């Protein structure tokens, strides 16, 4: 299966002290975006100062909801 490149990538400005907090935030965001009809993927990254950020990848879909 061919991987589809994301249409857009957003790096969150909010930093979290622990990876667990960042993952819980990503889960809530994933639910919100799914309800709105977006196809997204989230990654948790560590910054240089030991904090964690959530990176969001947004994918384009056609009218039937398939990835483009």
pLDDT at 66 (0 to 100)? 86
Mean pLDDT for the stretch of residues 7-34? 96
DSSP label of 61: B
Instruction: Give the C-alpha separation, 56 to 2, whole Å.
Output: 20
Bridge partners (DSSP) listed for residue 11? 55
Q: How many CB atoms lie within 10 A of CB 5?
A: 11
Residue 65 has pLDDT above 90, yes or no: no
Contacts of 47 (CB under 8 A, 6+ apart): 15, 53
Question: Could you tell me where the beta strands, DSSP code E, fall in the chain?
Answer: 8-11, 39-46, 52-59
Q: Rounded to two decimals, what is the model's pTM?
A: 0.83
């Amino acid at each position: 299966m061919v991987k589809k490149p994301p249409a857009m990538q957003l790096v969150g400005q909010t930093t979290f002290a622990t990876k667990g907090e960042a993952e819980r935030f990503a889960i809530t965001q994933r639910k919100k975006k799914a309800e709105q009809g977006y196809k997204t993927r989230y990654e948790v990254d560590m910054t240089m100062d030991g904090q964690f950020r959530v990176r969001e990848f947004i994918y384009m879909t056609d009218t039937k909801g398939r990835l483009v």
